[in-house]
Amino acid sequence: MECPVAPKLDFGGTTPYEDYVHASVLHSLQQQWSQDPREMSFLVITQIMELYFGLLCFEWRQAQRELRDDDLRAAVRTLKRSDLHLQALNAAWRPIARMTPTEFNSFRDALGEGSGFQSGRYREVEFLLGEKSRSMLVPHRAVPAQHDALEALLNEPSLYDDVLAALHRRGLPIPEDVLKRDVAEPYEPNADVERVWADIYREGNRDLLELGEALTDLAEEFARWRYDHLLATRRSMGSKVGTGGSAGVAWLEKRTRRSIFPELWTARSYV
């Protein structure tokens, strides 16, 4: 019987794991501003969310490239993978949502005017999903590189714009005014696009049906993200003004009423 080979322990310097993951760098980034131990939980979870925002943006840009190459099956695989990332991101709300108002208040002053809506990566998430808003560039003006990158993204097609363009290239009747719309503006529902999706679901073309379902999964998880954010905020701070000066719960309630990829929801009534 062969003896199991022992793992290599001495690398004469940093480990390959450290070189690849940069774990020591990640663990050096948590700097508490208060003496309350609960702040560490909030800080680490917020940083995890930021990493997931970046990962989602990476995945959706990959899906855009695949859609532009008319490789719908590859795009669907990428979208499904990103849906799993969104599920993990949403789970991160649970520890924050379980904080009582007193617990959250114990370190809330350390945030100052800091707020999640100031996140440049989250703004990328919204822009890629078609939630465009020129006014939301304002918080990033003091960081020119970030502001310029977001402004460029504002003026580029969203993920859904690329989906509709791919459907058009497959011969589906996506209206010309939708294809040539001002992509810097928020996407608005279109009755003709709704009919296209209804036909896709009625006729059951496998590739297009899977694309529709992958997008619907994303839309559902993103709606859950917004709603879980609302619930976590309502539970931890009630209807107080948000740390960034927003209307807090009222602002979040308004955001939860918007749906991404809207025709994928309404078309189901006509199938």
Binding residues for heme: 229
Return binding residues for substrate: 108, 243
Quote the distance between the C-alpha of residue 15 and its chain's center: 33
DSSP symbol at 193: H
The sign of the dihedral angle between the CA atoms of 41, 43, 46, 52 is negative
- Read off the DSSP letter of residue 261: S
Q: How many CA atoms lie within 13 A of 3 on its CB side?
A: 3
* Terminal-to-terminal C-alpha distance of the chain: 64
| Side-chain half-sphere CA neighbours of 93 within 13 A | 19
Rounded CA-CA distance 233/40 in Å is: 18
Task: Match 């009747």 to its residue by tokens.
Answer: 173
Q: Quick one: residue 171, left, alpha or beta (phi over 0 = left, psi -120 to 50 = alpha)?
A: left
Q: What are phi and psi of 239, to 5 degrees?
A: -105, 25
Spatial distance between the Cα atoms of 86 and 103, rounded to a whole number of angstroms: 27
The DSSP code for 13 is S
CA 205 to CA 42: how far, in whole Å?
45
- Residue 99's CB is within 10 A of a number of other CB atoms, namely 20
